[in-house]
Every structure is written in C-alpha cells, then in structure tokens.
C-alpha cells in the first residue's frame, strides 16, 4: 500500500446510523475528509448528508477516494463494494463484522482490509494488543450483553427500534444473539482463538468474575483461548479479556487491584462505534497494519438456525434480523455445507426444516450474487484444509 496524500480522501459506503455518525464526526478533522458517499437510497431521502457527495456505484466511490470505510451492514452489498475497492488498490476499513464472517476471508491477503475499532470485535482486537503488550496471556476474549431473547416478537422489536433510532433488522439481530455470535466468530478467526465445545456458552451471571470463571473451564477443555460472551448487568455493551500472567508478578498485580489471580480480568465497559473508526483509519494510513480480519481459511462460521418450523416456499427477505432464522457460531469443519446466516437475502425455503435445526446450503434457494460465489470458494478452502489431515484430526486442527 502506497503512502496516502495529506489530507487524504475517505469514501463511505452506507448512509445509516453508523455512516451518518462517522460523517458528522469527521467534519472537525484535518488529516482526512469525506469525498464520496455511496448510497442505495434515493438522494432526496438521505438527510443530514451533503447531496453533492452522494454516488450510486461502488466503482464511482472507488474513483473518488483514497480509502474506503464500509459500514452498510449488508453482506451482499459490502462484498461488491469491497471487491471494487480491492480492484482499485484501495485500503478498506469496515464496521461490518457480518461481511467478514461471511465473505471477508476471500479478500484477506488481496489488499489492506480490516475491521475497525468501535464495534465489539474490533475493540476486542485492540484490547488484546494492549494486554499482550503487558505480558498477559488471554484465556477468554469476552463480549458482554445485558439481555438476550432468542425469539423476540415483531411488536417488541418495532418498539425498541423506534426508541433507539436504529433499524428493525439491527435491533432484532442484537436481541436474538445473531450479532454477538457474528462478532465473536470474527474474534475467534482473527485472533486465532477457539469456541467452546458446542458453540458459544453465554453464561448468565450476576458478576463478570463469575462468568470468567465459568468460561475459563471451557477454555481449559479445548486447550486454548476462546471467544465467548456473558450476559450480566455489570457491564452491558462492553468487552473484557480474562488472562493469566507470570507468577512472579502475582503480588504486584494484587497490589495494582487486579485481584489474587491466576485469572485476571481487563475490561472496557463501553464501545463507541463510529467515534472510534478514526483510530483504525489512522492506523491503516500511518502504520499500515490491519487490526482484525477473518483470515484466509475461517475455523468458525455463523450458521442459519430455524427459529420455527419452515416449509417449502417460505420466503425470507433477510437472515440478519429475521423472525424466521437467527445465527449461531459453528466450527466450519464440523458443519461443512452449512448456510451462513449472512448470505440469506430474498431466499426461498426448498424443504421442511424443523425449529432449532441448522440450515444447509441445499435447504434454500439463494439469488445469484458475488457474495454467494465468494462463499462457495471459501468453503472449498475449508474442505481442502479438512481433507489435508486425517478425519480423526481434522476437527481438532481446524478448531485449534
């Protein structure tokens, strides 16, 4: 990646909550400026954004910027945008973990691509750098939630979407656990961690310490660090890392109010979304180091799970935030052929699927898209990796 001009031009893909906030936060900056904004909405419906900056194609966005920030939240759209940016040789910063765990692996290594600090996954990667620089050895890469409901009603979600000023799809994906599974799958793949046997645990506890103690047992069972989450009122919407350190520092760490050990909790009780994207942009522009991506061969995916019985002909407009399916982490080697929840858009069910079942690629008709062909190529990599070792070892090695 060549040096960027100063001030450099940033193109933004998206005009939703994250994009609008980021654009507003950029107005006071001198090191870069917004030069183009890609939207799929009609220009007159886009409020709070200078209309002269709006563009309608990914190619036009790439022509008018030096770096792309992708924050549309749409997997199929993001795949097209990032493909165009990579063809143009542009670095890409995303706040779109959904993209990474679905098609991001295809772009890893093709150019500069990273998730941003600000969402939990990027913030965990930044916290991991910090704690590891102090000699801590992570055992748990943790995400925190206050509430989770696998089967929220549409009436409930419409109320909270209006109250919080975010889309119905987003608030539903946050509530039914799909979003936290996506974030932690990206963390597992990007930080070379594992998931617990059977997937994420998400213990409900009164304190973070209780959750860390429970999750550390799962980490011990799989023989390495895990990505997971906790449901606790103590620090909703934050992140934490539970880690060990050399025994020689145990007394000092206790003096530093870190507790007696051997498991220490370093937490950050907030993540500031679009306000933190600037930190990752500067990292890419001046350090040329990605913060987090999904790796070329993902070990963990996010499979579509039926919320209720599905029958042939049922139409599912969108998997993320759906009232018919949700997403759960799976080990890719254990579930070859699973249907990634991020691929589901304007899909039609082919056969009967029972509530709670993991959907396979053959269970739905998906429209042709770059995202679909890209996932098929990624799965070929996964199958090749699985077949390169003995059947008895393939799951262990791909999950390590």
Instruction: Examine residue 153 and state whether it is found in any structural domain, yes or no.
Output: yes
Domain edge (last residue) among 252, 287, 322: 287
Domain edge (last residue) among 235, 257, 287: 287
Instruction: Examine residue 310 and state whether it is found in any structural domain, yes or no.
Output: yes
Q: Has residue 392 got a pLDDT over 70?
A: no
The span from the CA of 117 to the CA of 239, in Å, is 12
pLDDT in tens, 105-117: 999 999 999 999 9
pLDDT in tens, 113-167: 999 999 999 999 999 999 999 999 999 999 999 889 999 999 999 999 998 888 8
**What phi, psi does 173 have (nearest 5°)?**
-65, -35
What is the model's pLDDT at position 1? 58
| 202 and 128 inside one domain | yes
Q: Are 290 and 110 in contact (CB under 8 A)?
A: no
Q: How many domains does the chain have?
A: 3
pLDDT band with cut points at 50, 70 and 90 for residue 49: confident
Residue 362, domain extent:
300-398
User: How far is the CA of 378 from the CAs of 263, 269, 297, 340, 344, in angstroms?
Assistant: 36, 35, 7, 12, 16
CATH number at residue 369: 3.90.1210.10
| 144 and 230 inside one domain | yes
Q: Are 123 and 187 in contact (CB under 8 A)?
A: no
pLDDT band with cut points at 50, 70 and 90 for residue 400: very low
pLDDT in tens, 3-29: 787 889 999 999 999 999 999 999 889
| 125 and 259 inside one domain | yes
| 355 and 279 inside one domain | no
Letter string b/e over residues 125-142, b meaning 16 or more CB atoms within 10 A of that residue's CB: bbbbeebeeeebebbbbb
Q: What is the DSSP string of 74-139?
A: -HHHHHHHHHHHHHTT--EEE--HHHHHHTGGGTBTTB-EEEPBTBHHHHHHHHHHHHHHTT-EEE
The span from the CA of 220 to the CA of 333, in Å, is 21
């Amino acid at each position: 990646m060549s040096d960027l001009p100063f001030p450099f031009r940033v193109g933004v893909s998206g005009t939703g909550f994250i994009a609008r906030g980021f654009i507003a936060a950029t107005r006071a900056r001198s090191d870069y400026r917004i030069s183009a904004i890609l939207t799929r909405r009609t220009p007159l419906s886009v409020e709070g954004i200078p209309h002269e900056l709006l563009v309608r194609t990914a190619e036009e966005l790439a022509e008018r910027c030096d770096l792309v920030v992708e924050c549309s939240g749409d997997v199929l759209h993001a795949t097209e945008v990032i493909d165009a940016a990579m063809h143009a040789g542009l670095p890409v910063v995303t706040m779109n973990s959904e993209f990474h765990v679905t098609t991001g692996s295809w772009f890893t290594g093709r150019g500069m691509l990273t998730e941003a600090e600000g969402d939990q996954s990027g913030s965990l990667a930044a916290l991991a750098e910090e704690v590891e620089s102090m000699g801590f050895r992570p055992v748990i890469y943790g995400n925190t939630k206050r509430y989770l409901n696998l089967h929220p009603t549409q009436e409930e979600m419409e109320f909270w979407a209006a109250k919080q000023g975010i889309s119905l799809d987003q608030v539903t994906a946050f509530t039914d656990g799909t979003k936290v599974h996506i974030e932690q799958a990206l963390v597992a793949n990007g930080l070379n961690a594992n998931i617990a046997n059977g997937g994420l645990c998400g213990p409900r506890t009164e304190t973070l310490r209780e959750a860390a103690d429970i999750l550390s047992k799962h980490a011990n069972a799989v023989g390495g660090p895990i990505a997971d989450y906790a449901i606790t009122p103590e620090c909703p919407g934050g992140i934490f890392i539970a880690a060990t350190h050399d025994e020689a520092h145990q007394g000092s760490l206790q003096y530093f109010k870190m507790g007696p050990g051997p498991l220490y909790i370093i937490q950050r009780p907030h993540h500031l979304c679009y306000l933190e994207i600037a930190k990752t942009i500067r990292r890419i522009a001046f350090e040329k180091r990605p913060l987090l991506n999904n790796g070329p061969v993902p070990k963990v995916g996010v499979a579509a799970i039926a919320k209720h019985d599905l029958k042939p002909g049922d139409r599912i407009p969108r998997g993320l935030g759906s009232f018919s399916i949700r997403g759960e982490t799976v080990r890719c080697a254990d579930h070859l052929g699973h249907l990634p929840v991020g691929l589901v858009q304007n899909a039609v069910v082919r056969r009967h699927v029972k509530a709670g079942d993991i959907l396979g690629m053959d269970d739905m008709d998906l429209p042709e898209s770059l995202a679909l062909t890209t996932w098929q190529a990624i799965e070929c990599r996964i199958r090749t990796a699985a077949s390169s070792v003995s059947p008895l070892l393939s799951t262990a090695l791909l999950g390590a």
